[in-house]
Amino acid sequence: MTVAVVLLGGCGVRAQDEPHGVDLPRHPLTSPGAGPAVAVGEVAQVLCLVRDGRLVQTVRRTPAYPTVQAQLESLAAGPTPEERSAGLGTALSGVVLTGRVLAGAEVTVEFPDADEGNARNDEILAYGQVVCTMTARPDVGSVVFTRDGRPLQVPRADGNLTGGPLHSSDYARLLRPG
């Protein structure tokens, strides 16, 4: 007890003999609007681009949070001129992606056939860009790739193929700070 009195007294809190009232917030801390104010009309959209053979997360400010399809289209469009001048690129040049949300937090992305004459050696980066972009969304936990509606075997960062749900952790070793 003596230790508690010394500690409380030492930090400027005076001992009290009786309880006293505390003013609580007017709404629970977990209710909408309970946190700090957010700038109206602008949200952060995370996209994974490529620099020096590694994945780099970049943030774009947009007026509203994009749909899964809109974010895939932004990713496939590649870096902005400012991002390009910062050395960012893409492994998805010319790729048309179609995404849809399944039950829960899983997104299915239809990945087109690669042109055999233009085979890329950065295939892992291409899949990693999609997975890391989609799973940066608060409403997406995993990504499954399909081709012609059938599950597609894709490489993880370690080179192993999988047809199952992919997470950002499957490409973590390719991520580098922006």
Nearest in space to 82 (alpha carbons), one of 109, 114, 66, 59: 59
- Residues recorded for the chain: 178
pLDDT at 112: 83
Query: Is 48 within 8 Å of 57 (Cβ atoms)?
Result: yes
Both tokens of 44, joined, read 């952060």
Domain ranges of the chain: 43-176
Tell me the pLDDT of the chain (178 aa) as tens digits.
544 444 444 444 456 666 555 444 433 333 344 334 445 668 889 999 999 999 999 999 989 889 999 999 999 999 999 999 999 999 998 889 989 887 778 999 998 876 443 335 588 999 999 999 999 998 999 999 999 989 999 999 999 999 999 999 999 999 987 6
Contacts with 178 (C-beta within 8 Å, 6 or more apart), sequence order: 56, 57, 58
What CA–CA distance (Å, rounded) separates 171 from 67?
23
One-character DSSP codes across 25-59: PSS-TTSTT-S----TT-EEEEEEEEETTEEEEEE
pLDDT at 8: 44
